[in-house]
Structure 1
Amino acid sequence: MTASPPSQTRRATIAGGLITSLLVAGGAEARPAGDDPSRGITGGPDDWAFLVGRWNVRHHRLKERLVGSTEWQDFNGTCENWPLMGGLGNVDDNLLELPAGTYRGVGVRAFDAETRQWSIWWIDSRIANIDPPVRGGFKDGTGVFIGSDTHKGTPVTVRFRWSELTGDTAKWDQAFSTDGGKTWETNWRMEFTRAKG
């Protein structure tokens, strides 16, 4: 058996501690009962096997959200994902080359065996803040994850969606709704291509 390099062991320990902290915080968070938009969307512990590894990412981001904008910004980035806790969690380190300046972000995911849902948190290095989680799972090759947040003071329902998953490609999009999910504005799309070498 080959031992993991020290840097990978440290990285897994730190990320595992982060997931544990988020789960503790998430467990204390009030979850709506009947009006939970993620209710009924479930998955399994092996859902993210497709994402493990290094990726090149092409981003398409709506310049302004919830104002009727049709102007998009295109830019590149990278993503590196690794599993934790025997597949019950995973984390990715993202580099985003925005026209206004490059920044990093971290996606953290954890599986709740009781609800059979994944929770996903996003951490933005520019503001050192953890966004409220979206929750959900995969069905028929598409992942849907929904949660509540605010955008510039306006309450929004947030949807992450993963689709067109192959061994070497994947697509992700984010959308906001201000009417409880009746209508959606997609504001970010990402096209993943597995990095070679």
Structure 2
Amino acid sequence: MAGMRNSDFDFLTGHWTSRQRRLVKALAGSDEWYEFDATLDCQVLLDGNGVFDVLRAPERDMEGLTLRLYNPDEGVWRIWWAAKTSGGQLDVPVVGRFVDGVGTFECDDTWEGTPIRVRYRWSEVDTPRPRWEQAFSTDGGQTWEVNWVATFSRS
């Protein structure tokens, strides 16, 4: 509702360290992962309806930013990601909401030429170690392959 403060992402405010795990090759039937450390600096803005963070993983030469905007009329978040390697482009936004403490956000996109469904999921947000994961589906969301998982800790 208009004028109401959105607190969905308040848990993420501040400075975090994280352990990141990514599949070496997504959608290839592989179970080979690599791991690295990253930091996350997050600000909650616009009465909770805007969230901005920067993820940095120097050892992987990786830097990316996330912009989350909440539409109170629709009751949904749109989440955009852009990496240093994105060439000035924001990814297609995932769209969704929190239900029972778990945030699920999805969109249609393309991965290396293959049409996919993308899902971000935030869980354990009421614990000291929130968890985020990204998964892809090539069958419209019937089955999912998780390809990126991050666990966060306050630094």
Query: One fold, TM greater than 0.5?
Result: yes
Q: Decide which of 174, 179, 183 is 2:143's aligned counterpart.
A: 183
**1:63 counterpart residue number:** 24
Query: In the aligned structure 1, how far is the partner of 2:99 from the partner of 2:152?
Result: 20
Matched, 1:120 2:75: no
Displacement of 1:178: 0.4
Query: In the aligned structure 2, how far is the partner of 1:62 from the partner of 1:82?
Result: 28
**Larger C-alpha radius of gyration, 1 or 2?**
1
**2:102 counterpart residue number:** 142
Query: In the aligned structure 2, how far is the partner of 1:124 from the partner of 1:62?
Result: 17
Matched, 1:104 2:63: yes
Query: In the aligned structure 2, how far is the partner of 1:140 from the partner of 1:156?
Result: 26
More helix by share: 1
SS in 1 for 2:92: coil
Q: Decide which of 131, 143, 158 is 2:118's aligned counterpart.
A: 158
Cα deviations across residues 62-83 of structure 1 (Å, max 9, x unaligned)? 0001110110000000001001
Query: In the aligned structure 1, how far is the partner of 2:58 from the partner of 2:126?
Result: 25
Displacement of 1:127: 2.5
**2:6 counterpart residue number:** 45
**2:48 counterpart residue number:** 87
Moved over 6 A (4+): none
Cα deviations across residues 45-93 of structure 1 (Å, max 9, x unaligned)? 2100100000001000000011101100000000010011121101001
The one-letter amino acid paired with 1:50 is F
The one-letter amino acid paired with 1:120 is I
Query: In the aligned structure 1, how far is the partner of 2:7 from the partner of 2:120?
Result: 18
Aligned-residue sequence identity (percent) comes to: 41
The alignment's C-alpha RMSD in Å is: 1.3
The one-letter amino acid paired with 1:114 is D
Is contact 2:101–2:126 with CA below 8 Å preserved after alignment? Answer: no
Query: In the aligned structure 2, how far is the partner of 1:173 from the partner of 1:68?
Result: 18
Number of residue pairs aligned between Structure 1 and Structure 2: 150
Is contact 2:17–2:40 with CA below 8 Å preserved after alignment? Answer: yes
Displacement of 1:167: 5.1
Query: In the aligned structure 2, how far is the partner of 1:150 from the partner of 1:138?
Result: 25
Is contact 1:134–1:146 with CA below 8 Å preserved after alignment? Answer: yes
More strand by share: 2
